[in-house]
Structure 1
Amino acid sequence: MIPAAFDYARPSSVDEAVRTLADAGDEAKVLAGGQSLLPLLRMRLAFPELVVDVGRIPALRGVREDGDALVIGALTTHHDVLHDPLVRRYAGLLAAATATVADPAVRHRGTLGGSLAHADPAGDLPAVALALDAGMVAAGPGGRRTIPARDFFADYLRTALRPDELLVEVRVPKADGWGFHYEKFQRVAQAWAIVGVAALVRRDDGHIAEARIGLTNMGSTPLRATATEAALRGADPDGTEIARAAERAADGTSPPTDLSGSAEYRGHLARVLTRRAVRAAAGPT
């Protein structure tokens, strides 16, 4: 299909982009890599009066260290995130999940910030951001603010970003020494996850000291499996206690029912995939 008519702006700086968004009010959409927005435009599921193309702002790309955190520019592509040595060392879970996003063509165009700002609960990276306790840095007319991942995803395809704000950076606390694994189930290769599980595990003296588990496609936003996280504290990673804790992975979730599966089926998948992901993240016993 052909998109509805819209105006187009291509700012060359963050400040110019913010001014453009502020002037447009609620009628603008931000174009980054285009892998999420363009299909919505073509199917006429989005009708912006203005598309603000931020793809030519170099300050929004790249990965750097800032103390105990990695700072990843919002326009950094999935390909660059996946192959960045800092991400691989300090945020291996993000690299592992990014490797499962769509296909190489999409990974070369799609961006980390675009994926997070799109806020599709079936997307792989929002749940990973939750598990990593990432912070989203938004620039607006009043300056910059950091929004914790737990507060960023407001509802289906909605975030805490204001209409005049632009996601500019993602701050990821370094998870050096944590085991990690991303497990997802999909009908066919390159399809959206029916359910996905992002697991981080820190061991101490042979036991699980702490676990963080993000769930993909188990509600209108990405979720943390908090009941399972609590049950894993102090658990022996031999498998029995992990399996028992994983039975609570779907507690407090509201998974959708659609052509890919029922809510009950997704609950079953969440328990199975959580058990697998946590076992893999905990490492050998």
Structure 2
Amino acid sequence: MKLATLRTDGRRTGRNGTTAALALGGDRYLPLPAADAGALLVADGWRALVQNAVAADAAAPESAVVAVPQSGLAPLLPAAGKVICCGLNYGDHIQEMGRELPAYPTLFAKYADTLTGPADTIQVHGSERVDWEAELAVVVGAELFRADEDEAQRGIAGFTVANDVSMRDWQNRTLQWFQGKAFDATTPLGPVLLTADEAEGDFEVRGYVNGELVQHGNTATLVFGPARLLSYISQFTVLRPGDLVLTGTPGGVGMGMVPPRFLQDGDVITTEIDGIGRLENRIRINTKE
């Protein structure tokens, strides 16, 4: 199944005014009894809740299904407790950054405030080196602490699409990446969560700038796959339902080009993963800090 978070009050971001929903194809959704997709995953027997909603809708004289355009979708997990990202996880991206294959994952964290919707305009202030990073993201569906890979695999609720938009000038001010990765409302997420039981094999990840294909990778080439990442992270911090792990980006980022290429005001970045969906976000840049 595919789960989404609908926006009910017109807000671009924030933890209020959202409703979890089951995607029924196209822009049709069945509202579910949860504030957002993450809150649904926390509920005991959330699959039964979905099944009951579907049964109730089928029995109702008038369908509760609503039509919502992409612009009506909120970030999938607007209140994610933990947002943990892996950098340098595709062999080609590691190579273009001039590094060697790592023995351990390179991790950094974001806040839920960094997340934005799949069709939202991304407003960037104070950066002249805005870069794109198309990524597969993993949504946690069970509490994991010191889990082995098999347990971590069973604890995956599903997968979604993200773009770790990065402000490289801020990122490179110090050896720590955080400040270039944590600008508010700059990480689009969604449009849906594809549950793990419906995921078939590896994923093709593609990124475009103004329609030009700039990134294309397959998650089969990840140095640290989803289950291995979740297992590793769980060795030092507990992961809970609704937490989010970004798995890294394939080669083709702007900073790795010769000469480097960065986003300009008005550019549109598109991020897509077969079987899950696509994000399409316009970038607005104000270079004044």
Give TM-score, length-normalised by structure 1.
0.27
Relative to its length, the structure with more helix (as a share) is 1
Relative to its length, the structure with more strand (as a share) is 2
**Higher RCO (Cα < 8 Å, 6 or more apart):** 2
